[in-house]
């Protein structure tokens, strides 16, 4: 059984606990705190467990040259990359406002700390867990420092190899036992051929003592639902209020109706997964009573006859006789009463047959 732990206050993940669903608002709020609040409420209304943002200290995340480069994309909010990113970055005060709003709505609130300074701030405001973006997963000093803070972690693995993820696991595990690794492919939107859901069971083999999840950038919900069927315990999907808005993430994001359907589908699949025990269920009894087959006499069998297989047949019979799967157990046993052709061979008519018919 994979490790279970408390990811957020009162909310366990792993094992048989419900999949934890993260609505990744990221920077799809267009730099507008009013839209950000609308998206938090949308996430709550759709049934997500957590609304997540992205927090950066730009001078810690980018070097000067990267910030000063011209940014002429159709998705740009400014002439330089610095102008673009600053437009989308909320202040510390605004983050506290958003956190307060999420608390009022009873939805968990966190963010990806995109650099060490951002992680320190998120720690200060007491987020329930740290999200590590794929771009920081191979930033080992950052990982170690984040893990040392002791909060649970959710770590995406886009752009990484299994060799790197083995190192990631060891670095975090040394400092912090409570973390999740998410299978992820970092492209927007993601072609289904590049999803590689089979990495999920491979992660489960390599890291059997932590929950495994999935962060998806594909269109639609089906692949994410399939990830849950494969054992994903955390699902993260980008969300938007409108896929046509400016921004590279919107096309790979779920609109409200899709997010709601994703949550419903995941909960349905969780119910359907059930247990690994194969047995006849109470709900199957009416069908079994009506159509279940049992052993009948293929010919008239006089009292005292030692049964052979060619004397027996399997039919839907009234009353129900010996269960069909037990027919071979009857061979060599003696009948204690006459059995007419086509009559049920019931247990009490067979000597030394102690097994009762199933019901």
Say what the pLDDT of residue 121 is: 97
Structure tokens at 319: 């009353």
Show the beta-strand stretches assigned E in the chain: 5-8, 11-13, 20-26, 50-55, 108-113, 130-132, 153-156, 179-184, 212-216, 234-238, 293-297, 312-316
Stated pTM of the model: 0.90
Residue 19: CB partners within 8 Å, gap ≥ 6? 213, 228, 232, 233, 234, 235, 266, 270
Say what the pLDDT of residue 82 is: 80
Count Cβ atoms within 10 A of the Cβ of residue 170 and give its class: 0-12 exposed, 13-18 middle, 19 or more buried.
exposed
**Separation of alpha carbons 304 and 128, rounded Å:** 75
**Separation of alpha carbons 69 and 13, rounded Å:** 42
Strand pairing of 5-8 and 11-13? antiparallel
Say what the pLDDT of residue 359 is: 42
Phi, psi of 297 (to 5 degrees): -80, 125
Contact 316, 285 (CB under 8 A): no
Predicted confidence (pLDDT) per residue in 283-335, tens digit: 999 999 999 999 999 999 999 999 999 999 999 999 999 999 999 999 999 99
Say what the pLDDT of residue 353 is: 84
DSSP 8-state assignment for residue 163: H
Q: Which residue ranges in the chain fall short of pLDDT 70?
A: 1-2, 354-359
Predicted confidence (pLDDT) per residue in 15-65, tens digit: 999 999 999 999 999 999 999 999 999 999 999 999 999 998 877 788 888
Which residues share a beta bridge with 289? none
Residue 81: CB partners within 8 Å, gap ≥ 6? 62, 66, 67, 68, 69, 70, 71
Whats the size of the chain, residue-wise?
359
Residue pointed to by tokens 């709020």: 29
């Amino acid at each position: 059984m994979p490790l279970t732990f408390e990811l957020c206050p009162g909310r366990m993940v792993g094992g048989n606990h419900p999949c934890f669903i993260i609505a990744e608002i990221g920077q799809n709020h267009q730099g507008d705190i009013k839209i950000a609040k609308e998206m938090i409420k949308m996430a709550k209304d759709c049934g997500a467990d957590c609304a997540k943002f992205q927090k950066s200290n730009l001078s810690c995340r980018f070097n000067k040259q990267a910030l000063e480069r011209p940014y002429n994309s159709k998705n740009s909010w400014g002439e330089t990359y610095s102008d673009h990113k600053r437009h989308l970055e909320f202040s510390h005060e605004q983050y506290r406002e958003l956190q307060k709003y999420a608390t009022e709505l009873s939805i968990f609130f966190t963010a990806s700390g995109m650099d060490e300074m951002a992680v320190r701030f998120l720690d200060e405001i007491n987020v329930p867990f740290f999200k590590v973006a794929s771009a920081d997963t191979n930033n080992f000093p950052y990982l170690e420092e984040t893990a040392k803070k002791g909060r649970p972690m959710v770590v995406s693995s886009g752009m990484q190899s299994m060799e790197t993820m083995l190192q990631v696991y060891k670095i975090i595990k040394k400092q912090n036992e409570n973390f999740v690794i998410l299978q992820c492919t970092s492209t927007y939107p993601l072609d289904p051929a590049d999803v590689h859901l089979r990495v999920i069971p491979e992660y489960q083999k390599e890291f059997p003592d932590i929950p495994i999840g999935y962060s998806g950038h594909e269109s639609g919900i089906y692949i994410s639902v399939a990830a849950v069927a494969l054992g994903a315990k955390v699902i993260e999907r980008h969300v938007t209020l409108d896929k046509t808005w400016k921004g590279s993430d919107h096309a790979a994001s779920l609109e409200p109706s899709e997010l709601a359907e994703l949550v419903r589908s995941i909960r349905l699949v969780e119910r359907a997964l059930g247990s690994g025990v194969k047995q006849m269920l109470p709900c199957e009894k009416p069908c079994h009573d009506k159509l279940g087959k049992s052993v009948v006499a293929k010919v008239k069998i006089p009292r005292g006859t030692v049964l052979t297989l060619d004397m027996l047949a399997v039919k839907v019979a009234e009353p129900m006789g010996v269960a069909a799967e037990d027919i071979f157990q009857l061979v060599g046993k003696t009948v204690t009463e006459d059995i007419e052709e086509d009559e049920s061979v019931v247990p009490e008519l067979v000597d030394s047959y102690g097994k009762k018919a199933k019901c």
